[in-house]
Structure 1
Amino acid sequence: MKVSSKGEYALRALLILGQHQGKVMTIQEISEKTLVTINYLEQILLQLKKLDYVKSKRGASGGYFLHKNTNEVNIGEVIRNLEGPLSPMGCASITKYEPCPLEAGCQLKPLWSLVRDTIAFVLERTTLEDLLLNRIALLKGEDLFVKEK
């Protein structure tokens, strides 16, 4: 899984709109706060609108606003909707599985599955509210592996 600039910028825009929940923000304001060009931001906000994360208001006082509560915006869902599967390899993907001719005895597949599960574990349990309130706990690398006894 690789988060593209589109995914990152979409999360930045959602964070800004979440910080100003209930307020309509112009695309210019969002652009200035996210450092994303207006042209690219328009494309991203249109996609977020189609996915029902944001709404728009037309007119002189128009712009965009967050359509959902911040605790309802799941980061894993946002990333999947914008970027596709969370798995680093198609053979380990649950949603977009791609067979591999070497898969039967592959010693790498368990690693790719662990990476997928770890990414999903973190992203699926994170909401926009968690990001806004800095509720992200750091995991220690050794906590992620099962130790043999």
Structure 2
Amino acid sequence: MKLSTRIRYGTRALVDIARFGGDGPVSLRDIARRQDVSQPYLEQLILLLKAAGLVRSIRGARGGFLLAKNASEVTAAEIVTVLGGNITIVDCVGDPDVCSRAEDCVLRDLWADVSYAINDVLGSTTLASLVEKELDKESGREPGKESVRSLRG
């Protein structure tokens, strides 16, 4: 199982906006440079994120993008769903009709448990917590120690 580039880069862009958007809009050029993502590809992702109500744009010379919600309200599950669809590791978990053995298959139960665990982690991870972890890593602090920050969108 592998997350798409769209999901990975889109999440990185949102973490960047959450981290640097406190002082005003964040430009695509700055996000692309910091995240090492091509600006044209980033533009495509931002359009999807904007359509989903996760970011808003500010026009003008000092324009760019801000979170449309507080960073503590945006979960990784929401981001993954917007950029990649439903989170299931095999088709039969989301739709048992795709397999004639689905109802009696012990492996389907295993894959369902794995999918639920992934969804639980993604659903409990917010942009605010990801920014917090990024700042902790950069400062050499153990994640979650001595650090309380307010991140607003």
Query: Which has the larger share of helix?
Result: 2
Mapped partners of 1:25, 1:104: distance in 2: 49
Gaps in structure 1 of 5+ consecutive residues:
137-149
Residue 110 of structure 1, CA deviation: 1.0
Partners of 1:64 and 1:104 in 2: CA distance: 46
- The TM-score with structure 1 as length reference comes to 0.83
> In the alignment, what sits opposite 2:16?
16
In the TM superposition, 1:85-104 aligns within 5 A as 85-93=86-94, 97-99=95-97, 100-104=99-103
RMSD, matched Cα: 1.6
Does 1:116 find its partner at 2:115? Answer: yes
Q: What is the correspondence of 1:33-52 to structure 2 with a 5 Å cutoff?
A: 33-52=34-53
> TM-score, with normalisation over the residues of structure 2?
0.81
Q: Is the 8 A contact 2:81 2:87 kept in 1?
A: yes
> Partner of 1:25 in structure 2?
26
Q: Which of structures 1 and 2 has the larger relative contact order (alpha carbons within 8 angstroms, sep 6+)?
A: 2
**Does the aligned pair in 2 maintain the 1:18–1:132 contact within 8 Å?**
yes
Aligned partner of residue 113 in structure 1, secondary structure? helix
Q: Displacement, 1:58?
A: 1.6
The total of aligned residue pairs comes to 133
Give every structure 1 segment of 4 or more consecutive aligned residues whose post-TM-superposition deviation is greater than 6 Å.
none
Show structure 2 runs of 5+ residues with no match.
Answer: 134-142, 145-153
The answer to whether the 8 Å contact 2:77/2:123 transfers is yes
Question: 1:104: Cα distance to partner?
Answer: 3.2
What letter matches 1:113 in structure 2? Answer: A
